[in-house]
Structure 1
């Protein structure tokens, strides 16, 4: 599968630098967050400290975009101030995500939601895919990445082997030529390093490890005192190449928290699944059951409670929804596997079976009596295709047909 998770960490760099820049600008002579700037005679010291700790935990969508507005990198990040941890979930650009009205093979990839429906389309797609709320977004392009690295004087990493690759069809053309050994990479060489994906014994896993090494080296570099004089230049660079709907006050509060309590750990994951061809098109098919587990771990505010779990009241309501689950992928045990998921959420699964004579690439949910009931089932199984098939003689409320995307 081509170009999965290209430059996974490169937009993390953008937000890390924006935090540093915001801190320099807003807190050069101020020692309390902007949201807490009140008359100190009326605010107690303890009250002020409590407000400083009440920073909101947000899910931020990061997009790495080329000059043609194609999203080569997509991931969701949040900062957990209670545990001083940064959580990152990367989403392969080829992730299979069919949208109503978009039927061409390439239009069924999640990165097409960005190129065709801009950031709001991608935001909606990621929210549906992960069943979480996206609070804000950040977009950074290649030129911005390179200029950021050049501004801080490069980043020192250990290139594990000679890296040489040319792709004249890429736009812009991709030329990689790096020699093995520890060295300081400028912006141009840095982007070659994080984009290189050939030659690793572990495939993409090896590349991701190399990118993590680059990120750690970058964070070490920007924590040096010598970077402070360069922050004004970074501010100019970011203003030219970084697009975000985060407000100045948002950035300020997170900047203060980041500097005051620097993250002690980063939990970076890849959306679980596998890449394979359907016809002549390569897709990344998500393992939806594992996604629920990872989303719970990374984005749930209470690790003891699954983010997709329902309340007891909702479970009681689900018992009134009759569902049939049909295996349309020809994969043994698939219908039983997902029927158990629905049963655990309280749905009344009255039939488990197979679709005869036809194979489905994508999964579908059909509303036989009520569309809202079908949407509940679809949300539980992370299925985006919901269609009406209302029938007065229906024996079930919802029919689920599982496709190969649920493998």
Structure 2
């Protein structure tokens, strides 16, 4: 009898193990199937958005070795029949060894020369209108006394709200009272933003005592919040929405391999973002356009700040 009971126990154990292995196999196959779909979907998205700058030599960076790299971020208001201007211009540097990100917002009215266009001063946001990403890249490098950009990301600001909605909204801390855009008012303190609200929040300028600088801070704040949310592990079911929003509204010269390596090797830098500002003064010459004028000394300071994080000699 004991032998019979023992055999029964063994059979039950084998049956239990078999069920466990079948369940495990089903889970593994489901995961492989999902990852296969995810890889295909991500590859398709990057095929759609990958747009290298024509004629620009690649400034290679070893992302596997955590070498510092720089990104030019352009927020462009594009409408049908109008190429638009770069309403947002951010020079970002990322250091994977020190886990530090710098985000320098350059005011759109900054007075500068535009290489390859003419010898007259212009507002820096006009560079995109005159020559697309390539001219915006060259102009920003010139303004920053030679800081190179390894990559660029161009975001359609009207589609910005799609990306916020795709990650399920973001939460930020508003440090000002009375921020308004149209009929929308944002209270001081921690606020939750859907896509429409986030777009309004980053466009406020007139009701902010800091003007364009306050707007730049909010743009950086929301971009950081999107990045953190997009990399969180709880967004597996929002995968399609995120990729669709990216595919419809973003262009970049990042490859899928680049993004994979950055997610693996530079993720720790997301929690250490330093926001930099350009110091200058407003000026209107002979009744002409209003410019934000930045001194050569300030441009040199900004160059040195960014060069340090990029570990440039």
TM over 0.5: yes
Could you tell me whether the CA contact under 8 Å between 2:63 and 2:262 is conserved in 1?
A: no
Could you tell me whether the CA contact under 8 Å between 1:58 and 1:135 is conserved in 2?
A: yes
How far residue 263 of structure 1 moved from its aligned partner, in angstroms, is 3.3
Partner of 1:3: none
Partner of 1:289: 297
1:336-367 CA distances to partner (integer Å, 9 max, x unpaired)? xxxxxxxxxxxxxxxxxxxxxxxxxxxxxxxx
Partner of 1:61: 72
- SS of residue matched to 1:86: strand
Q: Which of 263, 268, 272 lines up with 2:270 in the alignment? A: 263
- Equivalent-residue separation in structure 1 for 2:288 and 2:63 (angstroms): 54
CA RMSD after TM alignment: 3.0
The residue correspondences of 1:302-341 to structure 2 (distance < 5 A) are: none
Do structure 1's residue 298 and structure 2's residue 301 form an aligned pair? no
Do structure 1's residue 129 and structure 2's residue 143 form an aligned pair? yes
Change (3 A) 1:210 1:262: closer
Count of aligned pairs between the two proteins: 247
Structure having the larger proportion of residues in helix: 2
1:43-100 CA distances to partner (integer Å, 9 max, x unpaired)? xxxxxxxx87513322211110011331101121121011001112221111112347
How far residue 204 of structure 1 moved from its aligned partner, in angstroms, is 4.1
The residue correspondences of 1:391-406 to structure 2 (distance < 5 A) are: none
- Equivalent-residue separation in structure 2 for 1:201 and 1:70 (angstroms): 24
Change (3 A) 1:223 1:62: closer
Could you tell me whether the CA contact under 8 Å between 1:97 and 1:108 is conserved in 2?
A: yes
Give the structure-1-normalised TM-score: 0.54
The residue correspondences of 1:13-32 to structure 2 (distance < 5 A) are: 25=38
- SS of residue matched to 1:59: strand
- SS of residue matched to 1:269: strand
- Tell me, which stretches of 5 or more residues in structure 2 are unaligned? 1-34, 40-61
Could you tell me whether the CA contact under 8 Å between 2:92 and 2:102 is conserved in 1?
A: yes
- Structure ranking higher on relative contact order (CA contacts 8 Å, 6+ apart): 2
Partner of 1:178: 185
Partner of 2:134: 120
Partner of 1:73: 88
- Tell me, which stretches of 5 or more residues in structure 1 are unaligned? 1-21, 27-50, 166-174, 308-407
- SS of residue matched to 1:108: strand
